[in-house]
Amino acid sequence: MRLVLIAGALAGLALMTSWPTVYAASGDKAASLAAFDTVAKVMTHPRCMNCHTTTAWPTQGDKSERHGFNVVRGPDGRGQGGMRCSNCHKDKNIANIPGAKDWHMPPLSQGWTGLTPGALCRTLGDPEKNGNRTGAKILEHVHADALVVWSWTPGAKRTPPPVTHKDFVAAAETWIRTGAHCPSS
Ligand code: HEC
Ligand code: HEC
C-alpha cells in the first residue's frame, strides 16, 4: 500500500511542471481538498504551531505566547548562547517541561504562523520550503517523527490536536494520493 503510494508520488514528481509539486496526478480534487482540511486542523493546532513559527522564538501554551526565559531559535533552531533547547527539553516530558528526542525548531521556511489554509498547503507541498521532501517523505515524517508524535502525548495539561494521529496520517495519505490539491485561499 505504502510502496504503491511512494511509487505514485515519485512518478508524479517526474511529471511536475508547477504546483502541485508533491504529486502531479490530477486526482480527485474534492477528496483531496476534504483530506487537506483535516490535515490543516492538526497543523494549525498550537502543539505544532508553537515550534513552526515565523518568529525568532518558539511559542508556548494554547495561546501560543512567546516562550519564556528569552529563548530564541538561534542559527540552528536549537537556541543561542547558553540558552540551548536541550538544557531544559529532554527525550521525554519531565514535570511541565515537554520533551522528545532532539527537541528543536524547524527552519524559518517551515514556519506556518498566520498562513491561510491555501498558503499552508502550498508551503507543505513545496520542496523548496518543506526541506526538499517528496509526498512520500512528508508521509514518512508525519507518521514517525518524534516531534510530530509527541504532540499526541504532550504532558502537563496540554491539549492534543483535535484529530487522532492515525486519522491525521490517513488524511495526509489521501491528500497526496488524490493529487495534493490546495484551497485557493
Ligand atoms: C518541538 C518542535 C516541533 C513540534 C512540536 C512539531 N514540529 Fe514539525 N518540525 C520540527 C522540526 C525541527 C522540523 C524539521 C525537521 C527536518 O527537516 O530535519 C519539522 C518538520 C516538519 C514537517 C516537514 C517540513 C514541512 O514544513 O513540510 C512537517 C510536515 C511537520 N514538521 C509537521 C508537524 C506537525 C503536523 C506537528 C504537530 C502535530 C509538528 N510538526 C510539531 C519541529 C517540530
Ligand atoms: C530554560 C529552560 C528552557 C529552554 C532553554 C527552552 N525551553 Fe522550551 N519550555 C521550557 C518550559 C519550562 C516549558 C513549559 C512552559 C509551560 O508550559 O508553562 C517550555 C515549553 C516549550 C514549548 C511549548 C510546548 C507547547 O505546545 O505548549 C515549546 C514549543 C518549546 N518550549 C520549545 C523550545 C525550543 C525550540 C527551545 C530552544 C530553541 C526551548 N524551548 C528552550 C523551558 C525551556
61 and 98 in contact (C-beta within 8 Å)?
no
- Residue 49 CA, ligand 1 centroid: distance in Å: 9
pLDDT digits (tens, 9 = 90+) for 111-149: 999 999 999 999 999 999 999 999 999 999 999 999 999
Please count the CA atoms within 13 angstroms of the CA of 71 that sit on its side-chain side: 24
**Quick check: 14 pLDDT over 60?**
no
- Ligand 2, atom 20, lies closest to the CA of 60
179 and 40 in contact (C-beta within 8 Å)?
no
pLDDT digits (tens, 9 = 90+) for 71-103: 999 999 999 999 999 999 999 999 999 999 999
How many beta carbons lie within 10 A of that of residue 113, not counting itself? 12
- Residue 171 CA, ligand 2 centroid: distance in Å: 29
Ligand 1 mutation target, pool 88, 89, 110, 182, most atoms within 8 A of CB: 110
